[in-house]
Amino acid sequence: MPELPEVETTRRGIAAHATGRRVRAVVVRNPALRWPVPNDLPERLSGRTVRAVRRRGKYLLLETDGGSVIMHLGMSGSLRIVRMSDAPGRHDHLDIVFDDGRALRLHDPRRFGAVLWSERPEAHRLLRGLGPEPWDATAEYLHRRSRGRRQAVKSFIMDSRTIVGVGNIYASESLFEAGIRPRRAAGRVSLEEYSRLAAAIIEVLERSIRLGGTTLRDFVSATGEPGYFRRTLGVYERRGQPCRTCGAAIKRLVMVGRASYYCPRCQR
């Protein structure tokens, strides 16, 4: 499900409710996520106060005075603020219960998500090697880093070591905006093209954040609302439909097992 706009939308919803709240309890119903939820998470987190809710790439960080919960939503995860009295449903694997009777509840059917604990999250192995946030990734940086690479430019920008937050939807959308075909070798994309691409990534992500992200199937924000970016998608899941710019039929291809969409006329 979630790429950067969905994670950021979730972060804002959680922050509004969790910041300054004390954790009363942690209820783990199913610890079998991407990695096991640490056994000692309840004891480490209970009694602590949430100081801030931050995002790094697609990771959410629930910061307390004594350490941070690192959360990832994987493909199908969502986090909602619920009342403690709301009965958990299927795939509601974990609750972080606050002192006001509300709880942060993780729902994740596919269980590709993660909930971990770290006293220094920025040094955690999952976060350590991450590339820059999109707002800090310049055209010069992308150009320099891609020299000599034969990897497809779409795979290059979806690699979190290159730049964080760009998943399958926004990679296709950004490349469409920038007029670059997804299969082009990253090392053969010019500085001028990376300049368009860097700007397109920021523009697309910001526009999606404003609309609350993209709900393809089941994404909901912390307040339970879907995102409305889907209606404005230029190419994603629009195979055969006319390009909104030139009218040509949108094409679909599969790269590294992931669907990619592009306009054969606008993108070169």
Catalytic site residues? 2-3, 58, 258
251 binds DNA (CB under 7 A): no
Which residue in this structure is represented by tokens 């449903």?
Answer: 89
Our finding on whether 56 is near DNA (CB under 7 A) is: no
Instruction: Based on the shown chain and the rule CB under 7 A, indicate whether residue 160 belongs to the binding site for DNA.
Output: yes
Minimal distance in Å, beta carbon 245 to DNA? 22
- For DNA, give the closer residue by CB, 182 or 227: 227
* Total residues at interface with DNA (CB under 7 A): 45
Q: Give the SS3 label for residue 156.
A: helix
**Buried b or exposed e, range 228-238, using 16+ CB within 10 angstroms:** ebbeebbbbeb
- Token digits of residue 116: 């971990």
Q: Residue written as tokens 């299927």?
A: 90
Q: What is d(CA 256, CA 46) in angstroms, rounded to the nearest whole number?
A: 42
Tell me the sheet residues that pair with 49: 22
Rank residues 45 and 152 by Cβ distance to DNA and give the closer one.
Answer: 152
Q: How far is the CB of 165 from DNA (least distance, A)?
A: 8
> Quick one: which of 46, 49, 151, 195 contacts DNA (CB under 7 A)?
151
From candidates 174, 214, 221, 267, binder to DNA by CB under 7 A = 214
Quote the strand ranges of the chain, DSSP E: 23-28, 50-56, 59-64, 67-72, 78-83, 92-98, 102-107, 114-118, 251-255, 258-262
Q: Does 218 bind DNA (CB under 7 A)?
A: yes
Binding interface with DNA (CB under 7 A): 1-3, 6, 32, 34, 57-58, 72, 74-76, 90-91, 109-112, 125-126, 148-152, 155, 158, 160, 167-169, 187, 213-219, 227, 254, 256-259
